[in-house]
Amino acid sequence: METIRVGIIGAGGIAQYGHLPAFRNTPGVEVVAIADINEKKLAHVAEKFGIPRRFTDYREMLEQADIDAVSICTPNYLHREMSINSLNAGKHVLCEKPVAVTGEDAKAIIAAAEASGKVFMGAFCQRFSGASQILKKFIQDGKFGDIYYVKGGYIRRRGIPGLGGWFTTKSLSGGGCMLDIGVHALDRMYWLMGAPEPVAVSGAVYQAFKDNAVDGGWPPLDTRIGDVFAGINDVEDMASGYVQFANGATLVLEASWAGNCEPNFYMQLFGTKAGAMEDSRGLKIFGEEAGSLLDIEPQVDTKINTYEAEIAHFVDCIREGKKPLTTPQEIINVAKIIEAVYRSAEQNGQQIKISDL
């Protein structure tokens, strides 16, 4: 079986702590090239991970390196251009979350993916957690009945990433906590619900910590070699959204980088036959059997490395021709919902129709 050769675009935090170690631990795949505009970091990372070819222009890597696939690990505003150019160059693509800043960007990426016939996968690692996988199986087995209400979020107390760098600069990130970590919570809940058609969204954003912002430590300090911090912080540190679907279901979403709150990554699902609550304390399923209310506490494998599971799935899709877990419709609708939260917030919480995007 031939080795799949990979090129990484962006040598920062997620490349060094997520993708590179995960590719190294995945059989039948090798990272043979890496691209980053930051020469100092590029040299350091190529050396540390023993990557033979390095490029300061990713387009040269696409042309010159002998690679089958790329991992896109760059600031969000670059995902559209880099995904499309990589697909057009005939490479399979794993693109970090948020795959796209707007619904329009997501549609353009998916159109390029479909025209290329290559694998395109969104790097939504949270779908691979033990709890997510258990819940998906219960739901697919019909144990929850119809899911009609879901709420969840990703809440940090003091966790602004890269303060003053691209993460907090709207023109480079596309948005703050909602786009950065709210997208993990939304993507996972939307997938578990079975991806119903979103119809309308309202939302609110806050920047309560603008004058009191502290750096939360991501990207890890040892990965920040030569990074530029221009000092801009023009994105929200807290956001919420309310989503209505064509099948009558609704979803409530929260995201916080900074707040006087209890940190959590959580969700609660309401189904006609059973429901569930999952958070940092574990997973509980609330059912009913033989006339009794029944709480089930599945044994969750908490040792799964979600980056490794995600990358093993990506490699499997390339090798076996499988469909990636992230479907085109899910990628587009997740991007549209978040775009609509921001649009609604700009219009004082007015409801935004997804059909108007």
Ligand X SMILES: NC(=O)c1ccc[n+]([C@@H]2O[C@H](COP(=O)([O-])OP(=O)(O)OC[C@H]3O[C@@H](n4cnc5c(N)ncnc54)[C@H](O)[C@@H]3O)[C@@H](O)[C@H]2O)c1
Residue closer to ligand X by CB (options 223, 244) is 223
Q: CB under 8 Å to 224, separation ≥6 — which residues?
A: 12, 162
**Tokens standing for 60?**
């040269």
Angle, CA of 10, 13 and 14, to the nearest 5°:
75
Q: In the complex, what is the shortest distance from the CB of residue 31 to ligand X, in angstroms, rounded to a whole number?
A: 15
Asked if residue 123 binds ligand X (CB under 6 A), the reply is yes
Which of 158, 129, 168 has the alpha carbon at shortest distance from 282? 129
Binding to ligand X in span 283-342, by CB under 6 A? none
The SS3 of residue 123 is strand
Binding to ligand X in span 35-54, by CB under 6 A? 35-38, 41
Among 33, 110, 113, 125, binds ligand X (CB under 6 A): 125
Among 6, 9, 20, 253, binds ligand X (CB under 6 A): 9
**Which one-letter DSSP state was computed for residue 73?**
-
Q: In the complex, what is the shortest distance from the CB of residue 19 to ligand X, in angstroms, rounded to a whole number?
A: 9
Distance, in Å, from the CA atom of 265 to the CA atom of 232, rounded to the nearest integer, reads 27
Phi and psi at residue 157, in whole multiples of 5°?
Answer: -90, -45
Binding to ligand X in span 216-255, by CB under 6 A? 219, 223
Distance, in Å, from the CA atom of 73 to the CA atom of 19, rounded to the nearest integer, reads 8
Q: In the complex, what is the shortest distance from the CB of residue 181 to ligand X, in angstroms, rounded to a whole number?
A: 8
Distance, in Å, from the CA atom of 231 to the CA atom of 220, rounded to the nearest integer, reads 18
Helix (H) or strand (E) holding 285, with range, is strand 282-289
Check if the beta carbon of residue 164 is closer than 8 Å to that of residue 231.
yes
Asked if residue 4 binds ligand X (CB under 6 A), the reply is no
Among 68, 96, 254, 330, binds ligand X (CB under 6 A): 96
The residue assigned the tokens 């506490």 is 297
Q: In the complex, what is the shortest distance from the CB of residue 76 to ligand X, in angstroms, rounded to a whole number?
A: 5
Asked if residue 74 binds ligand X (CB under 6 A), the reply is yes
Considering CB under 6 A, how many residues would be counted as binding ligand X?
26
Asked if residue 80 binds ligand X (CB under 6 A), the reply is no
Asked if residue 14 binds ligand X (CB under 6 A), the reply is yes
Q: In the complex, what is the shortest distance from the CB of residue 165 to ligand X, in angstroms, rounded to a whole number?
A: 7
Q: Measured at CB, which residue is nearest to ligand X?
A: 12
Distance, in Å, from the CA atom of 120 to the CA atom of 317, rounded to the nearest integer, reads 9
Asked if residue 97 binds ligand X (CB under 6 A), the reply is yes
Asked if residue 91 binds ligand X (CB under 6 A), the reply is no
| Residues binding ligand X (CB under 6 A) | 9-15, 35-38, 41, 58, 73-76, 78, 96-97, 123, 125, 162, 180, 219, 223
